[in-house]
């Protein structure tokens, strides 16, 4: 097992050397990449900081002269990312381990995000899982370990954290199984079955047609993984039926998949059947007061972690326009299914988020702004009705028959 171990050897020689020893004791080999710019460390790394700078298209002296430590680390992050991606493609590394404070963590997130989902990645950080980390920069499969008591120098507490991190990446690298697609894969977004039920019907229906289905929980990280895999060409088509993360982004919630939600698959030309599932609510941490925009809106606590607020008609029109503008960027086949009787389980009559006027506003605004190149299917149904699944399968089957959806799997592997 070859583990790419990244850190600033100039300031963290003892810590880097210790993790290298732990990896070696477990039968692995650490390829140490030095991203420091202050001077020489206590040992010679496998990849010098000069090589990292060159991979960024500059010299180390140019990095040093770039202005300040932030600009210098951004350049080193660019070089480290380029080298990591290259070595992953060449199958020279089996896992990633990065050590850092705020500077090193900033770099680590760039490198980890450039590697595909499923590739083992561990970051030892003084700000592990901190609110300083924007959700849209955290890779959906990242393992983080708090670098407790280790800001300066080794001690028993620090060694314990470093050893656990080294063991975690070695264990993940040994156990990782590359995902080979034996059947063409369809990507789908949803929430739990109390809100969305279409996946229960569509999974066996797609499998009967010779396809596999991967369903992503649209609570931020799930949407990021879904879009990343779509961008890499892993899906022959997507059924993007839960756009709740887009509402969160527009409403200022941290439960977001980032600003490019509903753009990436379309830009990549992936055939996409889209529906506005759960776009009537803004999700936020249940332990918080929620975004300022949600003040006064009806609130529903799903559990102690996540809560929802029923958005008003004005925001529902805003969401409709955002969906339409993003679908206009798509370069592949795109169909929008528009259920006019409801878009998630809690908006039916008698349920806590029932809002017929808001739904009517959303439907009206969508019909006004849907792009001409998007196939619009207005459904006299709720998103959880059998008629919705029937409509999705009709479109999908037509696209398969037309050759717009490939009936063969992607030939590579995820990790």
What ranges do the domains of the chain cover? 2-175, 185-402
225 CA to centre of own chain: 4
pLDDT tens, position by position, for the chain (415 residues)? Answer: 999 999 999 888 999 999 999 999 999 999 999 999 887 777 899 999 999 999 999 999 999 998 888 999 999 999 999 999 999 999 999 999 999 999 999 999 999 999 988 899 999 999 998 888 887 788 889 999 998 887 777 888 889 999 999 999 999 999 987 766 789 999 999 998 889 999 999 999 999 999 999 999 998 889 988 998 898 888 999 999 999 999 999 998 888 888 999 999 999 999 999 999 999 999 988 888 888 888 888 888 888 888 888 999 999 999 999 999 999 999 999 999 999 999 999 899 998 889 999 999 999 999 999 999 999 999 999 999 999 999 999 999 999 999 999 887 765 545 5
Q: What is the pTM of this model?
A: 0.81
Q: Tell me whether domains 2-175 and 185-402 share a fold.
A: yes
Q: Which two tokens stand for residue 380?
A: 């006299």
Pseudo-torsion of CA 272, 277, 279, 285, nearest 10°? -110
Q: Which CATH number fits domain 185-402: 3.10.129.10, 3.40.50.12030, 3.40.50.1820, 1.20.1600.10?
A: 3.40.50.12030
Taking the C-alpha atoms of residue 284 and residue 306, their distance in angstroms, rounded to an integer, is: 6
Q: Is 57 helix (H, G, I), strand (E, B) or coil?
A: coil
Q: How many CB atoms lie under 10 A from the CB of residue 216? A: 22
Fold assignment, 2-175:
Rossmann fold (3.40.50)
Q: 123: phi > 0 → left, psi -120 to 50 → alpha, else beta; which?
A: beta
């Amino acid at each position: 097992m070859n583990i790419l171990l990244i850190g600033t050897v100039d300031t963290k020689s003892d810590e880097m050397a210790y993790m290298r020893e732990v990896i070696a004791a477990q039968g692995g080999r650490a390829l140490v990449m030095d991203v420091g710019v202050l001077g020489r460390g206590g040992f010679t790394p496998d990849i010098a900081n000069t090589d990292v700078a060159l991979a960024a298209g500059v010299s180390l002296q140019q990095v040093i002269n770039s202005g300040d430590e932030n600009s210098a680390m951004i350049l080193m992050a660019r070089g480290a990312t380029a080298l990591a991606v290259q070595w992953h493609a060449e199958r020279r590394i089996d896992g990633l381990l990065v050590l850092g404070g705020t500077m090193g963590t900033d770099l680590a997130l760039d490198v980890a995000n450039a590697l595909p989902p499923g590739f083992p990645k561990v970051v030892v950080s003084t700000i592990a899982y901190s609110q300083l980390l924007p959700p849209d920069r955290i890779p959906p499969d990242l393992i983080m370990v708090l670098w407790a008591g280790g800001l300066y120098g080794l001690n028993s507490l620090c060694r314990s954290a470093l050893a656990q991190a080294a063991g975690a990446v070695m264990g993940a690298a040994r156990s990782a199984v590359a995902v080979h697609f034996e059947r063409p894969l369809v990507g789908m977004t949803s929430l739990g079955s109390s809100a969305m039920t279409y996946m229960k019907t569509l999974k066996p229906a797609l499998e009967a047609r010779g396809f596999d289905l991967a369903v992503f929980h649209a609570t931020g990280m799930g949407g990021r993984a879904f879009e990343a895999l779509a961008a890499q060409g892993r899906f022959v088509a997507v059924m993007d039926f839960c756009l709740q993360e887009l509402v969160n982004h527009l409403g200022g919630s941290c439960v977001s998949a980032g600003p490019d939600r509903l753009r990436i698959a379309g830009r990549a030309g992936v055939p996409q059947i889209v529906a506005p599932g759960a776009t009537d609510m803004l999700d936020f941490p249940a332990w918080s007061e929620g975004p300022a925009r949600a003040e006064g809106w009806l609130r529903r606590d799903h559990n102690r972690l996540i809560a929802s607020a029923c958005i008003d008609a004005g925001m529902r029109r805003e969401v409709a326009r955002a969906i339409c503008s993003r679908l206009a960027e798509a370069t592949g086949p795109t169909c929008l299914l528009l259920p006019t009787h409801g878009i998630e389980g809690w908006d039916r009559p008698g349920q806590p988020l029932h809002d017929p006027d808001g739904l009517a506003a959303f439907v009206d605004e969508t019909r006004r702004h849907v792009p001409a190149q998007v196939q619009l299917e207005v459904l006299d149904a709720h998103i959880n009705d059998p008629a919705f699944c029937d409509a999705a399968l009709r479109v999908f089957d037509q696209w398969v028959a037309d050759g717009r959806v490939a009936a063969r799997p992607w030939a590579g592997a995820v990790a």
